[in-house]
Every structure is written in C-alpha cells, then in structure tokens.
Amino acid sequence: MKRRTFLTSTTMASMSLSAFLISGCTNVKKNEESEVVDDITTTFELEEETISSLRGKLASGKYTSEQLVQLYLKRIDAIDKNGLNLNSVIEINPEAIAIAKTMDVEMKAGKLRGPLHGIPVVLKDNIDTADKMQTTAGSLALEGNYPSIDAFVVNRLREAGAIIIGKTNLSEWANFRSTQSCSGWSSRGGQTKNPYILDHNPCGSSAGSAVAVAANLCVVAVGTETDGSVVCPSAVSGIVGIKPTVGLVSRSGIIPISHTQDTAGPMARTVEDAAILLGILAGIDSKDPVTSESYGKGEADYTKFLDAKALQGKRIGVERKPQGQNQFMHALQNKAIDLIKKQGATVIEIDYIDKINELGSAEFEVMQYEFKAGVNKYLATSSAKVKTLKEVIDFNSANEDKAMPYFKQETLISSNEKKGLDDKKYIEALNKSHFGSKKVLDDVIKANKLDAICGLTMGPACSIDNIYGDRWGDVFLTTPAAASGYPHITVPCGMVYELPIGFSFFGKPYSEPELIGIAYAYEQASNNRIKPSFKKSFL
C-alpha cells in the first residue's frame, strides 16, 4: 500500500501525511444498511480456531483434515465467492482434498510432520506453486503462468504437512503498478473487501491473505511485504502480521519488487499462530544468498518465546510527536502505552521519524531499479506469455479496457526506464534509503538501550475507490522497518470508527524472538481481537 505514496508526495510521510481523509469517518447512528448481511457470518463451526485447537481436534478424531478442508472451501464459496463476496481468494487448489486425504493417511499411520500437519493455509498470488494453480501477481498479463518449481517457502509448507487450499488476491503487482491504485484490486482478481465494513479498503498488497484470515476462510496465510504489504492489511483487518528481518525467509520463487526489502511473512489471528508459521517459513536457501546471513540467528520454533510476562523490564521506544491529528487514534495509542507500562515495561519517548522522513523518495528509487531487474529475471524463466517488464507494459496497453479499466501503469513505465543496478543514481539511493534507515534505527536503539520501538501501525481503512485511488490518513508506521530490512510485528489494538487499528513493535535485525514475546504479552493483556462485523457500509 505505502509504495503509491512515494509517487504522490515529495516526502515519505510516515506519520505526517497531508490530511486525515478517511471517508465517512464521523460518528453517526447505525442504520439498516450497516447491519450484518446474513447469518452465515456467525454460524461457521470453525470460527476463530487456531492451529493448536485444530491440532487437538484432529488428534481426538473430531475432524479429519479432509473435513477441515471441505468446511473451509464451503465457507469460501458461501461468503467469499458468493454471499458477502469478500473476494479474497483468487483461485482454489483443485488438489486440496486429495492432499488432505494423504495427510489423514499419514496421521493415522502415526506420521506427524509437525504443528501444521493437515492444517489448511492460503498463499498470496505472487508465490510460485508447482501445481495446478497459477502465479500471476493479480495481472492478466501473467495468466497461464504455471510454475514448474515450488517457491522455497511453499516447499517448507508442504514438508510441514500444511494443505494449501488456495491463493489470495492482492493489489496487482504488489501495488507497484500505478500512482492512483486502489489497494486490494487486481485485473485478474477484482476488488477484495474489508470484512469489517464491506465498502472499505482491505489495504495491501497482501489484501486477500489478511481478509481470508480475518474472515475465517483459513487458519493462517502467507503474505509478502516490501513496505507495509503484510503489516498494513493485517492491521486494518484486525489480525497479527509479521514482517521478518530480510534474510530470515527466502524470496526464491516469489515475484519480486526489491531484493533489498522483499520478504514473505505470516498472517494469523493470534501471535502464537504467527509464531508457529514463522518457524516453518524461516530457513537458509541457496537460491537466495541473503538468507545465509540468518545462519545461527533463525529459530525452528518461535513459540518458545511466547511469554505473557515478556514486557517486564523491557525498554520500549515511542516517537515523541503524536501520531496524526485524530483524537480517537491518540486515545487508542495512550491506552496501549499505559497497558505496556502496567505490564512492567519502561516507555521512552524518542525522536526518529523526522530523520526517516528526511531520506525522502530514495526508497522508491531503489524499488524501481530493483523491480525492473528482478521482474525481468523472474519472467525470463517463467511460463508466462510475457518475458520482460516491457512486454507486460505492452500487454496492458493493448488490453487497456480489461487490464487498466481504472488506474494505469505509470510505475511500471517509470521503473522500466531505469538503468542497471550499477547506475550511480541507484547506488546513491540505496545508501540513502537502506543504509540511512538502518543508521537512524541503530542509533536510536543504542542510545536509549531499547528492546523495541512501538506505535500505531496505520489509521483505519479508507473507503474503496477504484477510480481515484486510496485516500489513507496521516498515520503510517511501515517505512522505518521496511527500508532498513528490520523485523516488524503488528497486533490488534482496538477499533476506531468501527474499523480495526493495529499496534506495531519493531526492532533490530533478527530480534524476532524478543518482538514475538513482547507482542504476545501485549496481546494477552489487551485481548483486542474483535471478529469482523461484515457491515455493508459505514453510514
């Protein structure tokens, strides 16, 4: 989501965008149009189940994996493809039932692959699967792209016994197509809706993954992030999202934007489930050299860091300046800070956002250079009919009515005009954005002896506007951890205007164990997860 902002503002306004332009954000009486659409939203028998709870029910024989898959597929058909038309799942895995049966046979024989054995999951549609599902990044130009090799993270999931039941819709090209994009829309998948208020935006680019988890269409999901694409949709859909340290999770087999910032990450309804999934996804991959940096720093099991008392004695930094202009957001943050203090942490006011903002548009410059190089490399060996970024642009132009009915492709075009990665302008931008962001965070963390930095992740979801694009408010806390490549976790914080708000914790590289402990302690003390209301509109 945040990437569009780089094109429309001369500064990276992480916490100070122009105005709080959330549509319909006034206190009004609910009317008939805001009521729940139908009873199916409240009668799903697997509602709010976790990996652990389903593991117990599989072990007891209450369910088989096949039954779980059938129930989730029925749920998807009922409220995602029909009924509410959430439109979060772009494609169903036709082999899901067969895989579930295999997992059941293994379980009956006493073979248990791990905590995800027989558990249904979904993946973002920019992650390669060597099966009967396509990988398109939501683009019509990539229709027919059936990868021959699983992405590294997909292979990890399969080895762990997870059942991939489908792929999720996303902001097309992970929201790296236009300056006027609407998050959660793709030419192949259409518009994904926010499950709390259906005419509101799910954020992106991992929109479908977040909505599928929030609406109980699966247990957990995998998203990807370059800047904000896991944590923003997680925050506005009332779930937990983890953007790992770049290098902890492999990117091989994932349609790229930036090799400096890209990473896959878990999305779940609880910190525990996110921690379980992160342990499966993490690993060193020879096809992604940056993962070698995680040697000795990653964990096979992050659940051992789930400690309800983890905030005791911690030093947590928070930006001194208020986040945005909205009084309800301020009250929510103050409540979160008070809770953190009550849990035994020391909260230190710090100044760092202005220094991040001073880095300007260098981050977007880095993305453009790396996107061109990365996409050309990916397409060259893919089964897609287009083999270069230029061919994608030409396809979209030739099929404008279908591929670009609303916003266009300025970002694709400007990226294609960039030179190679040896260009002086690219190197300068990389030094300014990536290494500059690292220095800002390293300095403030060291000077204040911080265990983490916190703050509101995002403002509430804006309205869906396919024609004029997103209109996000003045609260963004995605760029510091994204540009630096540092880990970031968002946890439900509460509601504003009947829409979820997330609370972020981020810190130094490979501090996932500490951040997961802190986030878990906050989650357990606050209990802020509220199930979606599926209202038609705010008014």
Give the residue numbers marked as catalytic: 124, 205, 229
The DSSP annotation for 248-317 comes to TB--TTB--S-TTT-EEEEEESSHHHHHHHHHHHB---TTSGGGGGGTTT--S-GGGG--TTTTTT-EEE
List b or e across 207-233, with b for residues whose CB sees 16 or more CB atoms inside 10 angstroms.
Answer: bbbbbbbbbbbbbbbbbbbbbbbbbbb
Angle in degrees, CA 205, 221, 407, rounded to 5:
20
Identify the helix (H) or strand (E) that includes residue 347. strand 346-350
Identify the helix (H) or strand (E) that includes residue 75. helix 65-75
Q: Is 390 exposed, middle or buried (0-12, 13-18, 19+ CB in 10 A)?
A: middle
Q: Is 322 exposed, middle or buried (0-12, 13-18, 19+ CB in 10 A)?
A: middle
Of the candidates 220, 223, 169, 166, the one whose C-alpha atom is nearest the C-alpha of residue 194 is 169
**In this structure, what token pair is assigned to residue 105?**
């046979």
Residue 144's contacts (CB-CB under 8 Å, 6 or more residues apart) are: 134, 383, 384, 385
- Establish whether the linkage from the previous residue to 205 is cis, with ω within 30° of 0: yes
Q: How far apart are CA 486 and CA 331, in angstroms?
A: 28
**In this structure, what token pair is assigned to residue 410?**
């300025």
Q: 167 and 125 in contact (C-beta within 8 Å)?
A: yes
Q: 453 and 477 in contact (C-beta within 8 Å)?
A: no
Within a 13 Å sphere around the CA of 408, how many CA atoms are in the beta-carbon half?
A: 6
Q: How far apart are CA 68 and CA 118, in angstroms?
A: 8
Name residue 249's beta-bridge partners: 246, 282
> Residue type for 181, please?
S
Q: 459 and 329 in contact (C-beta within 8 Å)?
A: yes
Provide Rg for the chain, Cα atoms. 21
Give how far Cα 165 sits from Cα of 65, 68, 162, 471, Å. Answer: 11, 10, 9, 33
Q: How far apart are CA 105 and CA 93, in angstroms?
A: 20
Strands (E), 71-217: 89-92, 120-124, 163-168, 185-186, 190-191
Q: How far apart are CA 248 and CA 245, in angstroms?
A: 6
Of the candidates 523, 490, 521, 506, the one whose C-alpha atom is nearest the C-alpha of residue 233 is 490
